[in-house]
Amino acid sequence: MTKLSTISGNTPPPFAFGAMQFGGKADEAQSRAMYDACRGAGIGFFDTAHAYTEGASETLLGKFAAAERNDLIIATKASYSGGASRSNILASFDESRKRLGMDVVDLLYMHRWDDGTPLEETFETLAELQSKGAIRYIGVSNYAAWQVMKAQAVAAGFGTRIDVIQPMYNLVKRQAEVEILPMCASEDILPVPYSPLGGGLLTGKYAAGEAGRLTENDMYSKRYGVPAMHQTARDLAALAADLGTDPATLAVAWVARHPAGPVPILSASSAPQLAPSLAGMGYALDDALYARISALSPTPPPATDRLEEA
C-alpha cells in the first residue's frame, strides 16, 4: 500500500476530506476555499463518489486537484444506485474518470453491499481495473465485517485484496468498534470512517437550536433521532466549553485516537464551518481525556455478547 501506508503511519493521525458538499450546499467558491484550507492544513487525501451532487463533486474536485495531482490521493465510489455488477462498475467509473479528468484514480470503493450480484463478478471487474492501472487500491464502504472478509477471500482468488474500508464511526455511532475496527487492525485494512461529527450533531449546533441536516433531512433525522445521542452531544459541548475548545475539534480527535488508526473523513459546507474539524488534526487527546470523552456514550457490547469476558 505504497501511498496509503504513508498516510496510516503518521503521528498525529492524518485526516481525509470528503467532498460530498462540493457543488451542492457549497458552491464552487466555497468548495475551493475548503479545498485550499485542507491543503494548507496538510490534507492530501480527498474523497468523493459518483453519486455526490449529481457529478458536481467529482467535477469540482478534479478541477481543484489537477495542478497537484501527483501529490494527492483521490478516492471515488462506484454508482450507489446501480449495484455491484460489472456493467455498472465500468460505466460509472468511466463517467467518474471523465468528471475528475483523471485516467487513474488511487482508490475505488464499492459504495455499498449488493446481495444481487455475485462477489466473483464484482471483484474480477475491480481486479481487472487494477491490473490495467486504472485504479491503485480497492475499497468498500458500508460493508459489515463478515461481508468484508467474505469479499476478501473472493478478491484473493483474483490476485488482489481490499485495502480500505469506509464505515460510519463517531461518538454516538460506535458499532464499528465491535468487529470492523478490530478486523482492520488484524487484517491490515485501513479504516477511513465518515461522519465523525454525526451529521453535525456533535458540533453542538442542534442543542443551540440551529437547523441543519438533522432537521431538514429525513434520513439523518432517523439516523440521529435517539434522545441519548442528543444528550451525548450536549455533554460533549459542555466538556468542550470546560476545555476552551470546540466540540467538533474533540469529536474528530476522538475518532482519530482509536487504536486501529482510522483516518477520519472531515467535511463541511464552508471553510469557517470546517475550521474546528481541522483544528482536531493537532489536538492531542491523552488517555484520560480519551476515556472521558468515550464515557459520554455507551460502549457497544462485544460481538459474542459475553459481557463477563469484556
Asked whether residue 243 is assigned to any structural domain, the reply reads no
pLDDT value at position 215?
A: 81
pLDDT value at position 207?
A: 80
Beta-carbon contacts of residue 208 (< 8 Å; ≥ 6 apart)? none
pLDDT value at position 10?
A: 44
H or E segment to which residue 160 belongs: none
- 45 pLDDT exceeds 50? yes
pLDDT tens string 252-264:
999 999 999 999 9
What nine digits make up the cell of 150?
A: 467474505
Rounded to whole angstroms, the Cα distance separating 17 from 203 reads 17
Reduced to 3 states (helix: H, G, I; strand: E, B; else coil), residue 110 is: strand
Asked whether residue 257 is assigned to any structural domain, the reply reads yes
Beta-carbon contacts of residue 17 (< 8 Å; ≥ 6 apart)? 34, 35, 38, 43, 45, 46, 47, 265, 266, 267
Asked whether residue 141 is assigned to any structural domain, the reply reads yes
Evaluated on CA atoms 31, 34, 39, 40, the torsion sign reads positive
- 38 pLDDT exceeds 50? yes
Give the sheet arrangement for strand 16-18, strand by strand. 190-191, 164-166, 135-141, 105-110, 73-77, 45-47, 16-18, 265-266
3-state SS, 185-223, equals HHHCCEECCECCCCCCHHHCCCCCCCCCHHHHCHHHHHH
What CATH number is given to the structural domain containing 119? 3.20.20.100
Rounded to whole angstroms, the Cα distance separating 63 from 202 reads 31
Asked whether residue 101 is assigned to any structural domain, the reply reads yes
Contact 139, 106 (CB under 8 A): no
Residue type, 296: L
Rounded to whole angstroms, the Cα distance separating 98 from 93 reads 9
Rounded to whole angstroms, the Cα distance separating 227 from 191 reads 28
For residue 261, how many other CB atoms are within 10 A of its CB? 19
- 1 pLDDT exceeds 50? no
Which residue out of 35, 52, 206, 283 is catalytically annotated? 52
Asked whether residue 64 is assigned to any structural domain, the reply reads yes
Helical residues (DSSP H) of 188-246, grouped into ranges: 213-216, 218-223, 227-243
What nine digits make up the cell of 111?
A: 459504495
52 catalytic per annotation: yes
Q: Which residue has the cell 460510519?
A: 168
DSSP secondary structure letters along 27-96: -HHHHHHHHHHHHHHT--EEE--TTGGGGHHHHHHHHHHGGGGGG-EEEEE--STT-S-HHHHHHHHHHH
Asked whether residue 109 is assigned to any structural domain, the reply reads yes
Asked whether residue 236 is assigned to any structural domain, the reply reads no
Tell me the residue range of the domain where 191 lies.
Answer: 2-201+248-284
Number of domains in the chain: 1
Mean pLDDT in residue range 178-188: 97
Residue 212: pLDDT band (50, 70, 90) is confident
- 11 pLDDT exceeds 60? no
Q: Which residue has the cell 437547523?
A: 211
Asked whether residue 210 is assigned to any structural domain, the reply reads no
Nearest to 293 by CA among 239, 226, 243: 239
pLDDT value at position 3?
A: 56
Mean pLDDT in residue range 115-132: 98
pTM of the complete model: 0.94
pLDDT tens string 57-74:
999 999 999 999 999 999
